[in-house]
């Protein structure tokens, strides 16, 4: 049986600043040396609706798309069970992800955020709250993280910082493009 080329791609960045949290992600899906899709939506709303009628949690994923959507569905189920408790829902998902025979094989990472907390979730059971409210994952994650941290003290808001960080990652990472999806939530707390 022939080996198939690895799927690569994605940069996701999250910035929390001045009472607002933003998650941005690029749209490129690459298989080997070929761009399979330039406009995939890797950032979305999750969970029960908030005051704006949209999901009260935002999330972005890096990794296998089907795996990520499975994890998003599982997280939404946990959010229904623990409404308004993103950290608890994420910890419960991480436990399942690490111990369940099926979920253990899923290859993805996620950044999720609500009005209070931003978390990075991995298949090894990690539920990490990033330093300074800035996190990034994926092939261009380190570029986006460095750019967002450098811009954190600027006058720009979380969305502008996220867009600039994604633009820098797209210039440096061949698996990241400039077709960005952005979701934001007001947290109600000014920093």
Q: How far is it, in rounded angstroms, from Cα 158 to Cα 16?
A: 6
Retrieve residue 22's tokens.
């933003």
| Burial class (CB within 10 angstroms; exposed 0-12, middle 13-18, buried 19+) of 90 | buried
Strand, helix or coil at 185? strand
DSSP of 51-92: TTSSEEEEEEEEE-HHHHHHHHHHHHHHHHHSTT-HHHHHHH
Catalytic site includes residue 10: yes
User: Among residues 10, 11, 22, 118, which one is catalytic?
Assistant: 10
Question: 26 with 174: CB under 8 angstroms?
Answer: no
Residues involved in catalysis? 10
């Amino acid at each position: 049986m022939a080996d198939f080329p690895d799927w690569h791609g994605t940069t996701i960045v999250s910035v929390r600043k001045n009472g607002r949290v933003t998650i941005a992600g690029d749209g490129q899906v690459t298989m080997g040396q070929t761009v399979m899709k330039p406009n995939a939506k890797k950032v979305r709303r999750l969970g029960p609706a908030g005051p704006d009628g949209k999901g009260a949690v935002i999330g972005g994923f890096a990794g296998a798309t089907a795996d990520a959507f499975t994890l998003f569905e599982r997280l939404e189920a946990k959010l229904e069970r623990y409404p308004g408790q993103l950290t608890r829902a994420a910890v419960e998902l991480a436990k399942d992800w690490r111990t369940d025979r099926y979920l253990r094989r899923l290859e993805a990472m996620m950044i999720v955020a609500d009005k209070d907390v931003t978390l990075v979730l991995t298949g090894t059971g990690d539920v990490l709250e990033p330093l300074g409210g800035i996190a990034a994952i994926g092939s261009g994650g380190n570029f986006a993280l460095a750019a967002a941290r450098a811009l954190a003290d600027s006058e720009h808001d979380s969305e502008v910082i996220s867009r600039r960080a994604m633009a820098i990652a797209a210039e440096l990472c061949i698996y990241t493009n400039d077709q960005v999806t952005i979701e934001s939530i007001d947290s109600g707390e000014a920093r």
